Structure 1
Amino acid sequence: MRDDPAEAAYRRALALVTALVTLVGGLWAVLTPAFRAPDEPQHVNSVLRLAYGGGWPGAGEALVGPAVDEARAQAALATDVPGRHLDREGIPPFVAVAPVPDAERGTVTGANALAEPLPPGTSTRHLDPEAVDQMTQHPPLYYAVAAGYLHVTGLAEARWDHQLLALRLFDIALLVPLPLLAAATVRRLARSRPAALVAASFTLFVPQAGHILGSVTNDALVMLSGALTAYLCVRVVTGDLRPRTAVALGAAVGVGLLTKVMAAFALPVVLAAYLLVAGPRGRRVGGAVLAGGVAFAVGGWWWLRNLLVLGTVQPVGIPDRFPDDEPRGLWYFLRVVVTGLTRSFFGNFGWLEIRLPDAVFWSAAVVVALLCAMAVARGPARRATAVLLLQPAALWCGVLVNAWPDYAAHGWISAIQGRYLFAGLLALSVGTALGLVALLGPRLRRAAPWLVGAAGLAAASGLVHGFHGFYQGPGESVADAAARWAGWSPLTGPQLVAVGVVVATVGVAAVVATARFAGAEAAATTRSASTADVPTAAAASAPTTPAGSGSSE
């Protein structure tokens, strides 16, 4: 690196962009009110069940424990936040509830962590959905690892808000590799350091990613599995047919499969990578078989077991929540699903009730789609890019296909959440960056600091929108909202200010570092061009003797 100042500047910029992505997720973790993220009470409950030896009941046979029930009540979860897109009749406002003082918040212990166990085979479909922990419809890997983390950190027995923040920060740790893997993938495909920095910053343009991955959710581990899978598939399709790469790829997919069924949509990407790579047929087939075998051994067996024992790939773990209705046709279904999926990918905060403006998420979706299409049509490594983008495309189609049976049978549309696409975040990061390579060419170097700055502003805008939506009631000042935030948070007001200052400082530093890298890269390009010109100039200035001429003496 001492011999390549541009590479040193690039690595400093990448470290700061990675830190910014991580810290923005951490700020979401302390900004979002307790349990105000999809299914967060049930996710926490399943972690506590394993932490206290409660096992993994069958789907639909697990109940929410007393500790989480008390925590939900103390967090005023049965209220509507002020930014909700539609107020519900009879539901009190969140801003009308005084925060429970820190000293009065409940502590999770062995006495209250576990619900009374139900006899195996007991149906809970007649119960209130809030009483049921549907997470046992998934495999237990995420929850087991999170439970171990609570024990290692000494927080298995602690105040519930401290546990919640600790588990949110555990998920943020799973986010750290994403920008690094995105940057490494771009460099392998395009050898463009400016594009790598843009790819690393991509998730800042998706505020929902910070919000969801800064909550307690098994989607955090699915995201990491999907990112590792995508990176390794790119290695394969660009010629890496080593057995150890196949084993690593199978392990990455297997970890996802032992977390959530969404990881199964990575399997077509793995197959496409081995089909399209140049190389001996035997090595390609052997690699695909090895990767598939490892994936099955690590996590795929769970779903075969479900099919053999339960008669279905994924059982339903939650009671019906909606009354039957008459389906309104295919066009209505597509319009609602595509809109809901797009909105909740870019920004539906809380329990999807705090919405970004339509113009914002539609504009973002169009830009990402166009840049990814440009990457496939005109970018570098088009075949590898197409394989990579197969992952989010398969996830998107999978969500639609999964939603259709309930709609056709009951007229309701459920399970439409953009977080289900987060396993494809790396692919979208890389596709967008390679689209910019095709669009801007060498000019991307000068644009990189502006793009990283824009990503930071997008993240800040999302955080501000969430802050107002969660805490600022009608007619209240920002100071009132900030005081409410501090009252509900396990952190003090000065600590929250310090977190905000750190995030803003790192954001500025990331932009400055990217600008310095752009300057160092330009200087390196100039030096290379000058060096290349030296032999030509020397040859032009050397004396020459015409052929056949001699001395006059």
Structure 2
Amino acid sequence: MTHTKEMSPGVIAGLAAILIVYLLLGVGFAIRTPPWQAPDEPAHYNYIAQIAENGCCPVIEPGDWDQAYLDTLRANKFAPSLLDDLDRVQYEDHQPPLYYLLGAPVYSLTGGSLTALRLLSVVIGVGVVACAFATGRVVAPARPQIALAAAALVAFLPQHVAILASVNNDGLSELVVGLALWLSLRYLSGENVSAWLLGVLAGVGLLVKVNTIFLAGLVPLVIVLRWWLSRRDGLAVASLPRTLVAFALPALALAGVWWARNISVYGWPDFLGLGAHDAVVVGQLRTAERLGGVGAAGDLGGRRGRHLTGFWGNLAGEG
């Protein structure tokens, strides 16, 4: 059973307008944001550079995080005179490699252009906006204005556009999650969506960013829910264990390659590389330490100020 309807010319025009304006905004952020003044951008850029120049994949190790140097860079807004050692900022080297593998050819073809890599992220963001629209269509097929509103929210939130226009793996992880959520909703509604395909997306997500791991729990819940609803309604239903295995096999096969590599490099049980990362980023301020220093009220006030500034895409000094 399908709940989608043909889109009217007005809806198509509305979506096209949203995507065009998003692209204009994204390109503007990519060009106008000062170099490196986006969250963790130097470390993400250096991961791409290492792959382009040395092959995949880098290993996080002591020296990749230099708290004093990073503080100096931020305090001086990444002044050009301080950038001689910027290539040593490599504390994202524990991340899964897929985004950086996509960025490596762009790096090589453009001589390492930061703007070109930012524009790659902007293009990925087009898919993120489209996924928001498609998901809205599944949720409310008779009310296309909801899908357009969802797309507009994703496309025009300044802080989000700023992130999508910088060098990082967030946009690609959002794209994979968006595709997985869209297809999961279609699967739940009874459409012919393969559990195997959902497993592929979950596995790909784990090759992009660790925080997509929630798909490994969410999608099986969707599979169980569809199985239960089908049985309740007296519909023909596939074997639940077989469907769960069809999801799990591609997910584990894809993610397992990266996890096995991490175990060989960092040792068991650090299959995600997070233990190695935590051991390297000594001096990075943690929430507990901040609360101990300024208290809950001070922390809340500081976060409020940063969020109000960041909402408008002003992320200067966050690199």
Identify the TM-score tier after normalising by the shorter chain.
0.7 to 0.9
Q: 1:271 to 1:165 in 2, by over 3 A?
A: same
Q: How does 1:8-23 map to 2 (within 5 A)?
A: 8-23=9-24
Is 1:263 the equivalent of 2:223?
no
1:478-530 Cα distance to aligned partner (Å, 9 max, x none): xxxxxxxxxxxxxxxxxxxxxxxxxxxxxxxxxxxxxxxxxxxxxxxxxxxxx
Q: 1:5 to 1:265 in 2, by over 3 A?
A: closer
Q: Which residue of 2 aligns with 1:60?
A: 61
CA distance in 2, matches of 1:29, 1:224: 19
Q: Is the CA contact 1:270–1:288 (under 8 Å) kept in the aligned structure 2?
A: no
Question: What's the offset of the Cα at 1:224?
Answer: 1.0
Q: Which residue of 1 aligns with 2:128?
A: 178
1:266-291 Cα distance to aligned partner (Å, 9 max, x none): 22210121111133553444333212
Q: 1:188 to 1:355 in 2, by over 3 A?
A: closer
Q: 1:183 to 1:211 in 2, by over 3 A?
A: same
Larger RCO (CA within 8 A; separation ≥ 6): 2
Q: Is the CA contact 1:59–1:315 (under 8 Å) kept in the aligned structure 2?
A: no
CA distance in 1, matches of 2:127, 2:145: 18
Q: Which residue of 2 aligns with 1:458?
A: none
Q: How does 1:417-432 map to 2 (within 5 A)?
A: none
CA distance in 2, matches of 1:323, 1:40: 18
Structure 1: gaps of 5 or more residues:
65-72, 81-90, 101-105, 107-111, 116-128, 349-353, 357-461, 472-553
Structure 2: gaps of 5 or more residues:
231-235
Q: Is the CA contact 1:250–1:292 (under 8 Å) kept in the aligned structure 2?
A: yes
TM-score normalised by length of structure 1: 0.46
Q: Which residue of 2 aligns with 1:316?
A: 276
Q: 1:55 to 1:304 in 2, by over 3 A?
A: closer
The partner residue of 1:137 within 60, 73, 94 is: 94
Q: Which residue of 2 aligns with 1:382?
A: none
1:46-90 Cα distance to aligned partner (Å, 9 max, x none): 1111111254233226759xxxxxxxx9xx99466xxxxxxxxxx
Q: Please tell me whether Structure 1 or Structure 2 has the larger radius of gyration of its CA atoms.
A: 1
CA distance in 2, matches of 1:150, 1:60: 23
CA distance in 1, matches of 2:176, 2:297: 29
CA distance in 2, matches of 1:150, 1:300: 28
Q: Is the CA contact 2:46–2:87 (under 8 Å) kept in the aligned structure 1?
A: no
Question: Identity percentage over the alignment?
Answer: 27
Q: Which residue of 2 aligns with 1:251?
A: 200
Q: 1:15 to 1:52 in 2, by over 3 A?
A: same
Q: Which residue of 2 aligns with 1:507?
A: none
Is 1:240 the equivalent of 2:202?
no
CA distance in 1, matches of 2:122, 2:285: 37
TM-score normalised by length of structure 2: 0.76
Q: Which residue of 2 aligns with 1:217?
A: 168
Q: Which residue of 1 aligns with 2:233?
A: none
CA distance in 1, matches of 2:64, 2:33: 25
Q: Which residue of 1 aligns with 2:144?
A: 193
Q: How does 1:74-223 map to 2 (within 5 A)?
A: 78=72, 91-92=75-76, 131-151=88-108, 154-155=109-110, 157=111, 163-191=113-141, 192-204=143-155, 206-223=157-174
Q: Is the CA contact 1:60–1:132 (under 8 Å) kept in the aligned structure 2?
A: no
Is 1:272 the equivalent of 2:232?
no
CA distance in 2, matches of 1:227, 1:303: 23
Q: 1:93 to 1:259 in 2, by over 3 A?
A: closer
* Paired residues, number: 292
Question: What's the offset of the Cα at 1:34?
Answer: 0.2
CA distance in 1, matches of 2:206, 2:54: 23
